């Protein structure tokens, strides 16, 4: 059987000839297959949290070939959009709670702050900025063994857990608990090969994936590499939920595009609402509408893409992994 997934990956990754994007679904455009989330019964809880638009305004789509995969066109408010970009770059890269791809290779000392250096030291930033490929939080993803463990676990950021829970709740997963995340950083020629995410003990819980910065082509196929994948654009602010059957399907990112969408030049200053000010970093939320403060973040996402990939690891009611002996 031909590995149609790999063929598509190669096609979209190719520089020469440049890929033909005519079959790539663009959910933001009017012509995409649109499912009325509310009418369809997908939105079961009209939750609202600072940084998100009211759920009634979300543009939700499902893909015919991939039941369980939900795409939401940028559900964030303008200030919320900025807030999560700032958090990803300046907070989710903080050690020791996060582990970084740069750890242990000598480019960044243990007591150095990656984002602070990127914004303060232009010389080192040249190397350090594109050098960071991933950060892990909560249960740290082990890139070699792909096995989570209690020994490799740190606290999960409260704001990202609240955001993820709120979104999962909105689409019908009321007991979602964010316990592990990978922050992927992509640059011009980066790609992520086809894979499935199956390390989590609980594979029934959805996986949430947030995109920020440069647009990308995302492929989602079936449970084997023989299924031809569906290609779609992921733009800044877009949300993908891999639930149900799609949770264990092959997916990849063959192409990062040089442009980004959905970023507003002017964002009115606002503070988090009463319900959210103790969940979000209220000071950061207020600051990020200031264009001078926003400038280095904006510069970063004009050239790169950030993906926040959030997973639940345990079953509801469990508090830890029991290692098998
Ligand atoms: O960057 C993306 O959109 C997907 C990332 C992903 O699949 C992963 O981290 O497992
Ligand atoms: Fe993945």
What is the rounded CA–CA span in Å between residue 50 and residue 246?
A: 29
Q: Is the CB of 61 under 6 A from ligand 1?
A: no
Distance 184 CA to ligand 1 centre (A): 7
pTM above 0.80, yes or no: yes
What pairs with residue 255 in β-bridges?
Answer: 217
3 state SS of 185: strand
197 is in an annotated binding site: yes
Distance 217 CA to ligand 2 centre (A): 14
- Residue-by-residue pLDDT tens, the chain, 325 positions: 789 999 999 999 999 999 999 999 999 775 444 444 433 334 444 455 778 988 888 898 988 889 999 999 999 999 999 999 999 999 999 999 999 999 988 889 999 999 999 999 999 999 999 999 999 999 999 999 999 999 999 999 999 999 999 899 888 898 999 999 999 999 999 999 999 999 999 999 999 999 999 999 999 999 999 999 999 999 999 999 999 999 999 999 999 999 888 888 888 888 888 778 888 999 999 999 999 999 999 999 999 999 999 999 999 999 999 876 5
What is the rounded CA–CA span in Å between residue 260 and residue 284?
A: 23
For residues 53-68, one letter each, b for 16 or more C-beta atoms within 10 angstroms of the residue's C-beta and e for the rest, the string is bebeebbbbbbeebeb
| pLDDT digits 0-9 by tens, 193-215 | 999 999 999 999 999 999 999 99
Handedness of CA 148, 153, 155, 160 (dihedral sign): negative
Those residues with Cβ within 8 angstroms of residue 106's Cβ, 6 or more apart along the chain or in another chain: none
- Are 236 and 263 within 8 A, CB to CB? yes
What is the rounded CA–CA span in Å between residue 299 and residue 285?
A: 19
Domains assigned to the chain: 4-311 (2.60.120.590)
Residue among 180, 182, 206 to mutate when testing ligand 1 (max atoms within 8 A of CB): 182
251 is in an annotated binding site: yes
Distance 195 CA to ligand 2 centre (A): 6
């Amino acid at each position: 059987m031909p590995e149609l997934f790999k063929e598509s990956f190669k096609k979209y990754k190719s520089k020469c000839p440049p890929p033909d994007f005519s079959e790539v679904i663009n959910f933001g455009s009017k012509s995409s297959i649109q499912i009325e989330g509310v009418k369809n019964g997908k939105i079961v809880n009209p939750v609202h949290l600072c940084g998100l638009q009211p759920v009634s305004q979300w543009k939700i789509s499902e893909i015919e070939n991939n039941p369980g995969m939900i795409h939401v066109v940028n559900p964030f408010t303008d200030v919320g959009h900025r807030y999560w970009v700032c958090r990803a770059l300046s907070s989710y890269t903080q050690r020791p709670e996060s582990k970084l791809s740069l750890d242990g290779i000598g480019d960044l000392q243990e007591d150095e702050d990656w984002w602070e250096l990127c914004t303060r030291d232009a010389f080192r930033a040249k190397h350090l900025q594109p050098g960071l490929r991933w950060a892990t939080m909560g249960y740290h993803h082990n890139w070699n063994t792909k096995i989570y463990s209690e020994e490799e676990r740190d606290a999960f950021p409260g704001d990202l857990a609240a955001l993820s829970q709120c979104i999962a709740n909105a689409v019908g997963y009321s007991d979602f608990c964010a316990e592990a995340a990978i922050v992927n950083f992509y640059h011009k020629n980066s790609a992520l090969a086809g894979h499935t995410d199956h390390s989590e003990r609980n594979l029934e819980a959805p996986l949430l994936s947030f995109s920020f910065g440069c647009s990308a082509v995302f492929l989602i196929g079936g449970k084997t590499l023989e299924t031809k994948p569906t290609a779609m654009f992921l733009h800044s602010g877009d949300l993908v939920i891999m639930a149900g059957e799609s949770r264990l399907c092959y997916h990849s990112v063959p192409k990062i595009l040089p442009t980004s969408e959905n970023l507003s030049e002017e964002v009115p200053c606002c503070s988090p609402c009463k319900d959210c000010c103790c969940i979000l970093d209220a000071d950061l939320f207020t600051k990020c509408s200031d264009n001078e403060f926003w400038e280095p973040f904006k510069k970063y996402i004009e050239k790169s893409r950030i993906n926040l990939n959030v997973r639940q690891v345990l079953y509801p009611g469990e508090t830890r992994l029991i290692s098998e002996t």
